[in-house]
Amino acid sequence: MPHPAAGSPTPLAIALPDGRQLGLTRYGNPAHRAVVFHHGFGSSGRELPGDAALLVRLQLQILAPDRPGVGQSSVYRALTFPSFADDVVAMLDALEIREPVGVMGWSVGGVHALALAARHPARVAAGQLLSTCLPLGERAAYHHLSPLWKALRWGQLSFSWLNRTTFLWLSRQWARHPDRTIAWFIHLMFPAEKIVTRRWRALLRDAAVAGFAHHGRGVFDDAQAWCRPPGFRIEEVQAPMRLWHGQADGVWAPSNIPYLAERLGGAPVRLLLAQGHMLYLENWTAILEEMAGLLPVSRAKE
């Protein structure tokens, strides 16, 4: 199998109303229908395959914003799920995108995708949650967490100084020794994740380098927001959602996905045999084809 190519994504920067900067990566033609992609934890908007021909065929563009403290986005210590949803709407306004958009989220990015749909229902036409997680700080969801995730949440909130130090150290490793660092992470992965990450090593390495910019501040703030009350209710999401999850996911077990789908009004779920947390990379064409079918036909001209 040939090594995947990253394509030619376009970096952009948007000035937010409060003076901060929001960095993002655009994939595809600005005239085409827009899909907002929320990146995973410790990564950035550079984690997507740059399949330009596929985007042209489906008439889609993907906007992948970096959360505060990631890539070119300013640090914002008051980060919450609602605050970033508002940042994304400001980004859409700045880009003069008025039509409802598709929204995607991978891993913890799935919770950010839900927040955007819940807080700004008129701006979201449909969504896809890819290997998504639950909001760790929500009381109802907490009871469905595994003992490991409960322990990780407790440690993040109880020993925040230690986590801040850890993310600072990791940011230095990614900046100084990116190849050695991703090799170390691959060694620690479960089998399904290890196979895919090796195949997409360069893409994921560069995405993580941007993810740990600003001395790891954005990763720490993202973790803190994830562990606190989410500031929205999953049941507030009105747009149709689709869930994709791997049965061999070693990061977030698929046992919670039917629970999440039920809270989304019985959203359809695709459980993929023998696939892990990185399934979005292995199924990118099928995921985008599904999204193209969920969105209304654009009124924009070529």
Q: Which residue ranges form the domains of the chain, and what is each CATH number?
A: 10-294 (3.40.50.1820)
Provide the edge-to-edge strand list for the sheet that holds 10-15.
10-15, 21-27, 60-65, 33-38, 101-106, 124-130, 241-246, 269-272
Residues 212, 175: contact at Cβ < 8 Å? yes
What per-residue confidence (pLDDT) applies to 299?
56
Inter-residue long-range contacts of 96-99, CB under 8 Å, 24+ positions, other chains counted: 97/34, 99/33, 99/34, 99/125, 99/296, 99/298, 99/299
Residues 272, 283: contact at Cβ < 8 Å? yes
How open is the CA angle 84-86-89, to the nearest 5 degrees?
A: 115
What the block records as the tokens of 74 is 């300013």
Q: Is 36 left (phi over 0), alpha (psi -120 to 50) or beta?
A: beta
What the block records as the tokens of 92 is 């859409």
Q: What is the mean pLDDT of each run of 10 residues along the chain (302 residues)?
A: 53 97 97 98 96 96 98 96 98 98 98 98 98 97 94 96 96 98 97 96 98 97 97 98 97 94 98 97 98 84 42
What per-residue confidence (pLDDT) applies to 50?
87
What the block records as the tokens of 221 is 């703030």
CA 59 to chain CA centroid, Å, is: 22
Residues 131, 252: contact at Cβ < 8 Å? yes
d(CA 175, CA 218): 15
Residues 289, 90: contact at Cβ < 8 Å? no
Kindly report whether the global pTM for this prediction surpasses the value 0.85: yes
What the block records as the tokens of 192 is 């399904």
